């Protein structure tokens, strides 16, 4: 059954992921031999919905999935993860989305996505679920679905004074008016560079990029920097959150873990800084395991990890 009043509503994509480990990423035109193919479940929307659910939030996930073998696998996994299928729109014409991922031994990856049915999720598809957009505590969305659908979801939530989180991935130009609908925007270095026009290489450049995003109308910006941690900026200032130390093996879903847990903790009522600490822990734990949804930590794992890593005050920058 659909959660009557979800803590978090996620609007986004659902894919099947095909991952190949490689000794190094290929140069343009080069062929490299890889290891064994791993087939798993992904899509930024699905990953973030599962991450939020595992972190203890009641989650509604709105997506569009094809009527094909991949679609059946996606539905089975979502159901097994405790998510309702009542908000999954079935596409009768276009196949489900797939992603192809190459991963180096150090965890660095390259990803190509064939979006399929994800890019046919329309504002009209959201209308039957308007109460979930307006009645949740936090709306979380990304950019693997059409931009007008993302804009519609954000506008619906904003009218109801729901906290809105936009993970602008993959990066693409955003209309100026969309920024005003976003409470918290959460790009990585590449996405922050594309959106702000500032080359993000380190904490200092991330701070400047975050400030430019705030000037666009967002209430807060969190730029994730991988092993360098994250920079959080609001109109009250900017802070650096160092990364948690882990042995990274696959960064595929680290950003999704971060965003899903951030939304879950904000829905719980955590202050932004504390929510970011939990989100950073989730991203670190996801890097320590291979796969996408397979790597997402549950609430118990997060609690144990944070118990072993006492809070460190963020560094004002």
Just list the catalytic residues.
256
Helices (H), ranges, 90-222: 123-126, 130-135, 147-159, 176-179, 189-196, 203-215
Q: How far apart are CA 9 and CA 263, in angstroms?
A: 9
Report in angstroms the alpha-carbon separations of 253 from 133, 151, 260, 285.
Answer: 24, 24, 10, 10
User: What phi, psi does 100 have (nearest 5°)?
Assistant: -115, 125
Q: How far apart are CA 254 and CA 259, in angstroms?
A: 9
Q: How far apart are CA 92 and CA 133, in angstroms?
A: 25
Neighbours of 82 (CB within 10 A): 12
């Amino acid at each position: 059954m659909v959660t009557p009043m979800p803590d978090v509503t996620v609007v986004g994509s659902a894919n099947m992921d095909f991952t190949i480990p490689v000794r190094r990423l290929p140069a343009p035109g080069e062929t490299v031999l890889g290891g064994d193919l791993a087939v798993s479940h992904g899509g930024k929307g699905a990953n973030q919905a599962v991450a939020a659910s595992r972190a203890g939030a009641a989650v509604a996930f709105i997506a569009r999935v094809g009527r094909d073998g991949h679609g059946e696998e996606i539905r089975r996994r979502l159901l097994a993860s405790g998510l309702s299928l009542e908000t999954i729109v079935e596409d009768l014409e276009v196949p489900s989305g797939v992603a192809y991922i190459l991963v180096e031994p150090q965890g660095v990856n390259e990803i190509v996505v064939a979006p399929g049915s994800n890019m046919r999720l329309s504002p009209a598809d959201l209308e039957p679920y308007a109460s979930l957009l307006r009645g949740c505590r936090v709306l979380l969305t990304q950019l693997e679905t059409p931009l007008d659908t993302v804009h519609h979801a954000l506008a619906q939530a904003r009218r109801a004074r729901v906290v809105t989180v936009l993970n602008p991935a993959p990066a693409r130009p955003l209309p100026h008016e969309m920024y005003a609908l976003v409470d918290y925007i959460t790009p990585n270095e590449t996405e922050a560079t594309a959106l702000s026009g500032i080359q993000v290489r380190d904490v200092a450049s991330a701070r400047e990029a975050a400030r430019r995003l705030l000037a666009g109308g967002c209430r807060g910006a969190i730029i994730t920097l991988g092993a360098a941690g994250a920079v959080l900026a609001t109109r009250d200032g900017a802070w650096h959150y160092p990364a948690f130390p882990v042995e990274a093996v696959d960064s595929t879903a680290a950003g999704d873990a971060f965003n899903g847990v951030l939304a879950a903790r904000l829905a719980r009522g955590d202050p932004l800084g504390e929510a970011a600490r939990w989100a950073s822990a989730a991203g670190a734990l996801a890097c320590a395991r291979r796969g996408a949804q397979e790597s997402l930590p549950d609430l118990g794992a997060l609690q144990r990890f944070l118990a072993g890593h006492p809070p460190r005050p963020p560094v004002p920058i």
